[in-house]
Amino acid sequence: MEPLLAGAFANASSLHGMGVDAGRAVQEARVAIAEVLDVRAEELVFTSGGTEADNLAVLGVARHARRPANVVCSAIEHAAVWETCQGLSEEGVELRVLPVDRNGVVSVQDLSRLVDSETVLVSVMQANNELGTLQPVAALGSWLRANAPRARFHVDAVQGILRAPLDIHDAGIDLLSVSAHKLYGPKGVGLLWVRSGVHVRPLLYGGDQQRGLRPGTENVPGIVGLATALRRGAALRGEVNARVERLRDAFETEVLRRLPDTVVNGRAAVRVPGISSLSFPGCTAEVLLHHIGAEGVAAASGSACHARRKEQSHVLQAIGVPSDHGTLRFSLGRSTTEEDIFAAVAALEKAVPAVRRLGRGQP
Ligand code: PLP
C-alpha cells in the first residue's frame, strides 16, 4: 500500500499515465481477490467495509422489490444486516426473523417455515462475530435453490472467510460480504461479491465507477491492501487456523478448570477458531473488562460497533444468556501466544471473584 499512499496517488479513473497505473493496480487486486474467492473479477464491488457491503446487499436487493415482499434474516446478524433489515420493514418489506438454538445456530427446518413465494432475500452470516458459531450456509443455500428461486441468498462472511471452509457456488450464495480489517488488512475497505445475473440497485449515485453499482473514486491503496491481506491469509489459513483453535481450546479448558461456573457460549456448535465467548454468572461485563484491562488483557463485551451500549446484545438475548451473566468475547489471532492465553486466564482468575465481591457490596 505504501507506494500508492505516498507517491502513486492518481485517480484510478484518470486517463493519464499515473491514472492508468492506479487503474491497473485496482484491476490486479480484483483478479487476485477473484482467484482466492473463486469468483469472476467483474463480480466484485469494492466498498468502504463490511457495513456498506451488507447494506448494499440488503437494500440493493430488497428495497425496490415488487410488493408484497419479505426478507428473512437470522436473529444474530451483525447490526449492519440486522438494523438494515429492520429499517426495511418501515419501507413496506416485512422482516421475518430466523431463530437460533442455544448455541446460536439456525436450522433449515425453521428457514423452510419462514420462506414463501414473496421472500426476496435471505441473509444469514457465515460466522457470528460475538459467538464464533458457524451457520449451515451450504444446507440453507441448497434448500433455497430448490424451494425458493425468487429469494436471493446473502452471506455476511466478514468473520468466517478463510477461517472456515466455504464453497460459494456449492452453497448457492448470491451475495457475499467481506471486510479487510478482519483479515489483517486496512480498515475502511471491503467488498460485496454479486453473482452475475443478480440484480442489485446502488445505494449511492454520481459516477460510472464499478459499473455504477458503487460510484465514487476507488480507494486504491485500500483495495490493494485488501487483496494482499486475502492472498496472504489464504496461504496461511491451514496452519493459522489449527494453531489458533488449539490455543482457544486450551484457553477455555483452563478457564473452566479454574472458574468452573463459567459458561462457554456456543461450545456445542462448530465455531471459527479465533472467538471465545465466556459468560460469568454474577459479574458485570464492563467492570470485568476494566479489571482484566488493568492486567493488560484486551477483550470485548458484545460487538465493537455497540461497545458503548449498556444493554445485553440482541445476540446474547437470542441464545438466552441470563442478564446477570457478564459476557466477554476474547479474540485470538495469528500473533496470539500460549503466554497470552495463560496471562488472560490468570487475569480472569483474579478478576472474576473480585468483581463478584464488588457486586455483593463486599470489599
Ligand atoms: N459483519 C460482521 C459479522 C462483522 O463482524 C463486522 C465488523 O465487526 C461487520 C459486518 C462490519 O464490518 P466493517 O467494520 O468493515 O464495517
Name the pTM for this structure.
Answer: 0.96
Beta strands in 227-274 (DSSP E): 263-264
Residue 307: the pLDDT is 57
Give bridge partners of residue 134 from the DSSP assignment: 127
Half-sphere exposure of 162 (CA within 13 A, CB side): 25
Residue 12: the pLDDT is 84
Axis crossing angle, helix 50-62 with helix 79-89, rounded to the nearest 10: 30
Measure 156 CA to ligand 1 centroid, in angstroms: 8
Residue 363: the pLDDT is 65
Closest-CA residue, ligand 1 atom 10, reads 50
Residue 67's CB: how many other CB atoms inside 10 A?
Answer: 11
Does residue 50 line the site of ligand 1, with CB under 6 A?
yes
Does residue 78 line the site of ligand 1, with CB under 6 A?
yes
Residue 283 grid coordinates: 459479574
Per-residue pLDDT of the chain (363 residues; tens, 9 = 90+): 988 888 777 788 888 888 888 899 999 999 999 999 999 999 999 999 999 999 999 999 999 999 999 999 999 999 999 999 999 999 999 999 999 999 999 999 999 999 999 999 999 999 999 999 999 999 999 999 999 989 999 999 999 999 999 999 999 999 999 999 999 999 999 999 999 999 999 999 998 999 999 999 999 999 999 999 999 999 999 999 999 999 999 999 999 999 999 999 999 999 999 999 999 999 999 999 999 999 999 999 865 556 556 688 999 999 999 999 999 999 999 999 999 999 999 999 999 999 999 888 776
Does residue 336 line the site of ligand 1, with CB under 6 A?
no
Q: Enumerate residues 6+ apart whose C-beta is below 8 A from 85.
A: 58, 71, 73, 77, 95, 123
What is the number of the ligand 1 atom nearest to the C-alpha of 77?
A: 3
Residue 324's CB: how many other CB atoms inside 10 A?
Answer: 12
Following DSSP, what letter does each residue of 83-106 receive, concatenated? HHHHHHHTTT-EEEEEP--TTS--
264 Rama class: left (phi>0) / alpha (psi -120 to 50) / beta: beta
What is the rounded distance in angstroms from the CA atom of residue 51 to the CA atom of residue 182? 12
Query: Which of 91, 58, 93 is closest to 174 using CA atoms?
Result: 58
Buried b or exposed e, range 282-321, using 16+ CB within 10 angstroms = ebbbeebbebbeeeebebbbbbeeeeeeeebbbbbebbeb
Measure 78 CA to ligand 1 centroid, in angstroms: 7
Residue 309: the pLDDT is 64
Measure 354 CA to ligand 1 centroid, in angstroms: 33
User: Long-range contact list for 3-9, CB < 8 A, 24+ apart?
Assistant: 4/220, 4/221, 4/224, 5/221, 9/220
Measure 50 CA to ligand 1 centroid, in angstroms: 5
| 60, 201 contact by CB (below 8 A) | yes
Beta strands in the chain (DSSP E): 44-47, 70-74, 94-98, 119-123, 152-156, 175-179, 190-194, 263-264, 275-281, 325-331
Closest-CA residue, ligand 1 atom 13, reads 50
CA dihedral 293, 280, 277, 318 (to 10 degrees): -130
Does residue 77 line the site of ligand 1, with CB under 6 A?
no
Residue 362: the pLDDT is 75
Residue 8: the pLDDT is 73
Buried b or exposed e, range 92-109, using 16+ CB within 10 angstroms = ebebbbbebbeebbbbee
Catalytic residues: 305
Phi and psi angles of residue 75, each rounded to the nearest 5 degrees, phi first: -70, -10
| 115, 148 contact by CB (below 8 A) | yes
